[in-house]
Amino acid sequence: MSARPLPSSDPAAQGVDAAGVHAFLDALEAAPDIEPHSLMILRHGRLVASGWWGPYTAERPHLLYSLSKSFTATAAAIAAGEGLLRFDDPVISYFPEFEADITDPRSRAMLVRHVASMASGHEAETLPRALATDRADMVRGFLLIPPERDPGTVFAYNQPTTYSLAAIVQRVTGQPLTRYLRPRLLDPLGIGKAAWLRDRAGRELGFSGLHAATDAVARLGQLYLQDGVWEGERLLPEGWVAEATRPHIGNGDGTAEGALSDWQQGYGFQFWNSRHGYRGDGAYGQFCLVLPEHDAVIATTAATERMQELLNLVWRHLLPAFGPEPLPQRQDADRALRERMAGLTLAPSPGKPAPPERARDWSGAGFTPYGGVCAAQPKLTGAAVASGDGGWTLRLTEDGHHLDVPVGQAGWAVTDEPLPIAVSGGWADADTLAVDIQFLETPHRLSVTCSLPEGTFSAKWHTTPLHNPPLRAMRAPRHSA
């Protein structure tokens, strides 16, 4: 099913000053450690600005990382509304096969609402310990780790809590999250393709791994802004939005610095409270910002470790752009903003075509990892350069699998097979090939440099993938709806 376009409007008609959006874009593009991929702004239910920095495009799914958690909570809400689960039930009650194994009283007292609010009683992340305890079933591994405190008394950002919530939903519905959500949320919202990573148990992860377009993020935010009602139909149980987005557990440290952190304003049911409104939040700048006081939603995808800085730029530039009333006609300003948003692009890496005088040396040249191992991808064991009728190709070998990428072309060379990637760069000089590979369904960019005299190559991630995937898996899964 293809997504229905969101209703759109000129910014001025919705009280949005185009100059503020320009100021945000200026600041975003000037920030050296923020690589923006997309931006959508909705005001009063109308899309007033949207753009994708090429080679990213509107229709491509993008790995949302922990913003996936907000979709998981939404699935749990719908299941609760259908009477399939209750937030005041013990977690262990949904896994009777573990009843004899789970003896710690705090683990047994843990309720669904505790795992939904990151308040399991554990004082720190348990993911590595849960996996080490039971690789085959993370729920069992998690429940076998005794909480240090009573459930509901302490916040700890903790992946297995969300995984357990997702596992409960998948158990009581008998379906993967994406299949369950398709007729109940995704189709009614007009969301197109969505795909979720699965673990070895076959469960969709819940805490991360959802790939969806920015449009899906914006629509989820607008649904929450509208109290769970879409086009006159209630999709979420009445009262859910208020319950999910209020702070269930404090997470501030009481310092002046903490008061300025958007990660210390309290936590709801898989939503963060922010200094302004609330948000779904994924690593490296995947945001669904819901601003009830401004009747606005802002959706972003990006690649940055400076997530607080990205939010600061939103608060500094976009919030003042939201006025209380429609602005006088500003057709020229609104048109200029539309044109800018339509022409956004990431600067390709510089590079020259293959040096003709060294073409014979480069064609067929092979390279081994600099220093004997590739720090970025330890299983990346070799690189080779070849020329043919279609131009030059860099072949990367990882764990016996090959990834061929086109090199030496001007701008971004985009291809969808075997992976959706865009490549830029080329020869820095006669002895050095340096290219950037953008994995277009993720936030991630890999820089590869080959030295002809040394016969070695190096690779470096600009932001490191969190799930340690092989290169061939740097795309949306193909199994989901």
Chain segment 171-181, per-residue pLDDT in tens? 999 999 999 99
Of 40-44, 90-94, 291-295, 468-472, which gets the smallest average pLDDT? Answer: 468-472
Q: Which of 315, 342, 369 is the last residue of a domain?
A: 342
Amino acid at site 366 = G
Identify whether residues 333 and 468 lie together within a single domain: no
Amino acid identity at 78 = I
- Position 207 scores a pLDDT of 98
Asked if residue 281 lies in contact with residue 66, where contact means CB atoms within 8 angstroms, the answer is: yes
Please give the model's pTM, rounded to 2 decimal places.
Answer: 0.96
pLDDT digits (tens, 9 = 90+) for 126-153: 999 999 999 999 999 999 999 999 999 9
Q: How many domains does the chain have?
A: 2
Give the containing element (helix H, strand E) for 258: helix 256-259
Query: Are 448 and 462 within 8 A, CB to CB?
Result: no
Q: Among 342, 366, 396, which residue terminates a domain?
A: 342
Instruction: State whether 334 and 365 are in the same domain.
Output: no
User: Mind listing the pLDDT tens digit for each residue in 231-282?
Assistant: 999 999 999 999 999 999 999 999 999 999 999 999 999 999 999 999 999 9
pLDDT of residue 408: 86
Q: Is residue 20 part of a domain?
A: yes
Residues 140, 101: Cα–Cα separation, whole Å: 8
Task: Categorize the per-residue pLDDT at 218 as very low, low, confident or very high, splitting at 50, 70 and 90.
Answer: very high
CATH number, domain of 189, equals: 3.40.710.10
Are both 233 and 302 inside the same structural domain? yes
Q: Which of 342, 366, 387 is the last residue of a domain?
A: 342
Q: Which amino acid is at 71?
A: F
Answer whether residue 334 is part of any domain: yes
Say yes or no: 67 and 207 in one domain.
yes
Distance CA 302, CA 53 (A): 10
Q: What is the CATH number of the domain that holds 450?
A: 2.40.128
Q: What is the pLDDT of residue 3?
A: 60
Task: Say what the pLDDT of residue 480 is.
Answer: 46
Same domain assignment for residues 195 and 285: yes
When pLDDT is cut at 50, 70 and 90, the band that residue 481 belongs to is: very low
Rounded Cα–Cα distance for residues 362 and 169 (Å): 54
Is 201 found in the same domain as 313? yes
Range of 410's domain? 356-473
Supply the pLDDT for residue 56: 98
Q: How far apart are CA 395 and CA 362, in angstroms?
A: 13
Burial zone of 202 (CB within 10 Å; 0-12 exposed, 13-18 middle, 19+ buried): exposed
CA distance linking residue 172 with residue 169, whole number of Å: 5
Closest CA to 28 of 214, 322, 277, 285: 285
